[in-house]
Every structure is written in structure tokens, then in C-alpha cells.
Amino acid sequence: MKTHANRILAGLLATALPTAALAQDTAPAAPESSNSGTTLGSFRGVADTVDSDNLRLHTVQRKSYADGGRHEVVLYPAIAQMNAKFTSHLGAGAQYLYHLHENFALQAQGMYFYVNEQTSFSEELINTSSQAAQAATAITLQWAATGGFEVTPIYGKFAFFDDTLASFGIVLSAGAGVGGTRVQLQGGNDQAATFGDTGMKFVGQLGAGFRVRLNDNFLVRLEVKDLVYTAKVDQINGCNLEDLRVLSNQEGAGGSVAAACRSNEFTQGDANLAFRLVEEPSSDVLNNVGVYGGVSYTF
């Protein structure tokens, strides 16, 4: 009896064991971790395999060179007027800046315009009809000196080719000062130009541009600046209307000129043209908008 029971138990075990093994073989595999495909190692592996610049990460770095507390000297070998309508200017200049901190600097600058004359249209009026544009629109700027400030609200970097970086800043400036003015009396084409001094005028300055740093000391600048100056002519070469009436032998003139009148600076015919300009006084505010290209050194 006992032997028969053992045989029945062995049969049941033989039948159950293959079924359990089959269930184990057909069971679904356990899901892998959801983070297994987003590891840093997998990204590195892809980048190394594909070797594409589009998969490389570039970081934004801090400024390599600090401006705060530094001095800057700027030379502008080329200044060219952009809005030449009645007058034309070409000159050079220099500027000094002290950077109080990274984004703010005090500045002083001077400009000299070795070409400052009327345009061909104004010269044609003078030569063909002995008439000139109103003095307020014909005044040219010989020199200017201003002081003010400069701010750098935006700065960053850009790349040359693949491995060269340059720092840049967008600069805004403003200032005020004085400038020397004159008006053209005769000249152009086949005769030498003559001018009359119209004295010093108030000059305001507004500007904007780019400042690109090449290394620790050297920079290049490209800016647009507007020199705004008053233009009222009530005397030429120190001579007022009554002085010019005497010098040009106008009807009713008499006596002598004032001591401030520099009559020796007039050439033949100039006093008559100067009288016409002062006889009909005019005033205006002129804008001399120019492109300033220069280089600078910081220390």
C-alpha cells in the first residue's frame, strides 16, 4: 500500500515540473529602467560615434578682460560726414575714457575737420549768381571739443571661423562742448575758397556703435556720432552789420569799423558777401552726422 502511494506521488511530480519550467521560460522579461537611455555616457557615446559639431555643447564664458578702473585712448584717423547736403566734412579725432566700472565710462574727445566746406550745389550758387545759402544752413564746423559719458548696455562674444573668439560691446555716448565755425564766402572749381570766421558755438554730441576687443590692450571701434551745434550768424570775422556796411561801401555808411572787426581778413569782394549774409540774419540747429572709425589702447 505504501509502495503504491509513493508511485502515485512520483507521477504527479513528473507531470508538474515540466509545466513550471515552461511557465518560467515564457514569462515576459522585466522592463528596463526608464532612465537607461538618457545617461551622460550614452550621449558621449553618440557624439564620439557620429563626430558632429552639431552635437557638441558650447558654454557662455565670463568676460576675459575687465574694463573697470582702466584708461582707454582712442584715435579716429577717419571721420566722414554722412548727411552732406549744404556742407561737407572730413577729419580726424582723438578720445580719452576712464572706465569707472564695466558698463560706464567718462570721456573727453576732440575733432579737427581738415575738410570743411560747402557742397558743389552751394558753390554753384556763389559762383554763378553771387548768392549764398542762408548762413544758418551754410556754417561749417572746423573743430569741436566735448566731454561726457559712455555706457555699454550690451556686450558678448562672436567667433571667427572655428577657434577664434572676440569680445564686443554696443556703446552709447553723450556729451557737450564747444566748436569753431566758419562760413564760405567765395571759391570752388577754378578759384580758391575764402571763408569768414563765425565764432565758437555750443556743440552737443550723441553717438552709438561697436567696440570690439582683440586682446588685453587693443580694440577697434566703429561708431556713428551726431554733432549738434547752433547756427546763428550776426558777425563775420568779428565784424557786425555796421562794420560790414562800412567795409562794403554801402549807401549811408560812415565812420570807421570797431576795434574787434578784423577787416584785414577779408579779400576783395568778401566784405560785400559777408554783408549780405549778416543783413538777413538767420538761425538754425545743424546736425553733423559722421562715421567714426578708430583704434584704441587700454591700460
Segment of 35-39, 158-162, 237-241, 254-258 carrying the highest mean pLDDT: 237-241
Place of cell 566748436: 179
Phi then psi dihedrals of residue 13, to 5 deg: -65, -40
What is the number of other CB atoms lying within 10 angstroms of the CB of residue 296?
A: 20
Give, in order, the Cα–Cα distances in Å from 188 to each of 90, 113, 163, 289.
Answer: 17, 18, 53, 24
Q: Coil, strand, or helix at residue 8?
A: helix
Is the predicted pLDDT of residue 69 greater than 60, yes or no?
A: yes
Residue 117 pLDDT: 84
pTM given for the model = 0.71
Bridge partners for 286 per DSSP: 229
Pick the CATH number of 54-233+282-298 from 3.90.1300.10, 3.60.10.10, 3.40.50.2300, 2.40.160.20: 2.40.160.20
* Closest C-alpha to 112, from 137, 79, 135, 147: 79
Cα–Cα separations (whole angstroms), residue 178 to 91, 165, 200, 239, 286: 17, 40, 6, 21, 14
Nearest CA to 82 among 279, 230, 292, 282? 292
Say yes or no to pLDDT of 136 above 80.
no
More confident residue, 93 or 59: 93
